[in-house]
Structure 1
């Protein structure tokens, strides 16, 4: 297993904090309140080590019958990447639990979840954007998850993915200024959609290392391996997600 590089974490956090503050400054350069509000604009980078670790504060009840049916109806030997055990757990153990929590603030919610729930959420954040538009889209849309995703891949024992993702973060630390410029254009409502979309698209050229992950991330065999890793972890720690009743 590849150890998480704490020095890299500091570099990435520092450069992205600078990037996001630069965006904020440019968007508010005519406002006199920049100094007083800058502290509020610092991004929160989520880590699996944040907040609650072991307590099941947010959860639902599930029946043993339902759990058994999921395991019997979704056999890994008949894997369907769009219809499988992992998505059933997402709908029930994540979506339903979060909806019932009533916590609107994302950072508060993150700190309230236990470690196993955080791992599931970090994966869902990465997978949702990456499956839709690549690793760059994930970093562009959900920068607060970049560290927790690295920690998640490591905990899941996804050695190759962990290494390749670390390379993306390493490259990102040297491209923050350029990506910041592109994000500023994309977020500028005064520009037409064509110019904003072009700025977003240009960002893919800045993270060349992300292409290595994308060469295998969409393959069915890889998805099966990754989804199975996450699902088996959930099943080993079901008590961290729900109360099981007969």
Structure 2
């Protein structure tokens, strides 16, 4: 059996050299998933971030319930995973959107529904023990490091190819970002005094746009640094 066939690492490197755009897509997807996992770990050890109390405090600052006359009505109740998702998106400068909806009992004829969304950034308002900039650096460092490693593995040179390959990074990052806007959504419903109230919270749909910009920018920065380092090695 040829030596190459028994060397899976060598086969991966050859594939990356032959199809660097595929490698960039993997860098994008991997950076998103690893970034979420690292954010999860930081939130767990950050005594200043608690899913319910941090959410309640951030919502109270907006006055969204006072604006709609819903004082005392249910607050969003995120699970730990949903809350970490909000923090992860907040670290990309994407807000969490709180939306109360009010309707009469049973959807009676003529009943009206009121929607008054409000955006909050829990990461910027919470008293975190870990500086918020650390959370913001997670995607930046992962994307840059991934681009750097890809450029070296694919033997890229400093050229226009870096831009072409770099556009593959958001192709892997943004679909997961879009999925997260639905996956990290929570909804709480109550029906006091014949009024049905539903309060939902999820990452802003603007989030994937911000993530597209960030993943493209820092993916290309990493590719450039990796290609430049290979050029310096060969000199």
TM-score exceeds 0.5: no
**Smaller-chain TM-score range?**
under 0.3
| TM-score, scaled relative to structure 2 | 0.26
Please report the TM-score for the alignment, with normalisation by the length of structure 1: 0.25
Q: Which has the larger radius of gyration?
A: 2
Structure that is richer in helix per residue: 1
